[in-house]
Amino acid sequence: MAEEPLRQDQFVKIAGPSARWGFLFWFFIGNRLFLGPGHLVSVTYSGMPLYERYHRFYFSDIASITYGPTRRQTFYFLVLAVVWFSILALFAVLAPPLAFQIAAAITTFMCGVAAVINYIKGERCRFVIRTAVQTAEIPAVSTMARAEIVAARIIPLIQSAQGKPGDVGTPPGSMPTSLEPAPAPPPPAPPPPSWNPGATP
């Protein structure tokens, strides 16, 4: 008997949209992460050219989830500073004073808004799902705050699908967050030999 096809209302978006190559190209390549019955779906899409690519991760196949902070937020601040300074320098050299003042006001406002948005989004992260046959980064989970929310939501579902209730290693928010059991601690070292000069041999 053929399986009943999945309906669109069975999927819930839990992350995204997010840029894959950075905020300057967000409208060209994007990514979303959906939660479906028994699995996750990562959807990568583009407007130029138009396409969508689906990547499924079944809970029973996921071996580990890892995420940790990156320096992407600092990089974006540096890019904004370079853009702001370059535009002002160009208009200062080539444009009359009035045009320079207008360009300075517009550029400062736009770069300031972008910097505030970058700050509000918080620390960026790299979120990776690993199975027995593949390791895939999920660009939709691009901040540490979102990574903690997603991990807290899907780890119990993965544990239930794999029959592994309980602790999953390190808690959400650390790197790595693993679904594999934590290794057993090493046995305690034997006490060092003692020597008492007053003891009878």
pLDDT, tens digit, 9 for 90 and up, residues 112-164: 888 888 888 888 888 999 988 888 888 888 889 889 999 999 999 898 888 86
Task: Kindly report whether the global pTM for this prediction surpasses the value 0.85.
Answer: no
Domain assignment present for 180: no
Domain extent at residue 152: 9-62+146-162
Strand-strand pairing, 29-36 and 39-47: antiparallel
What is the torsional sign of CA 94, 97, 99, 105? positive
pLDDT at 14: 85
Domain assignment present for 191: no
Which neighbouring-strand residues pair with 126?
68
Say yes or no to pLDDT of 195 above 60.
Answer: no
Amino acid type, 13: K
Q: Mean per-residue pLDDT for 23-31?
A: 60
Domain assignment present for 113: yes
Domain assignment present for 50: yes
Domain assignment present for 158: yes
Number of compact structural domains in the chain: 2
pLDDT at 128: 92
35 plus 77 within the same structural domain:
no
Q: How far is residue 173 from each of residues 18, 66, 146, 151, 179, measured CA to CA in Å?
A: 20, 9, 10, 8, 14
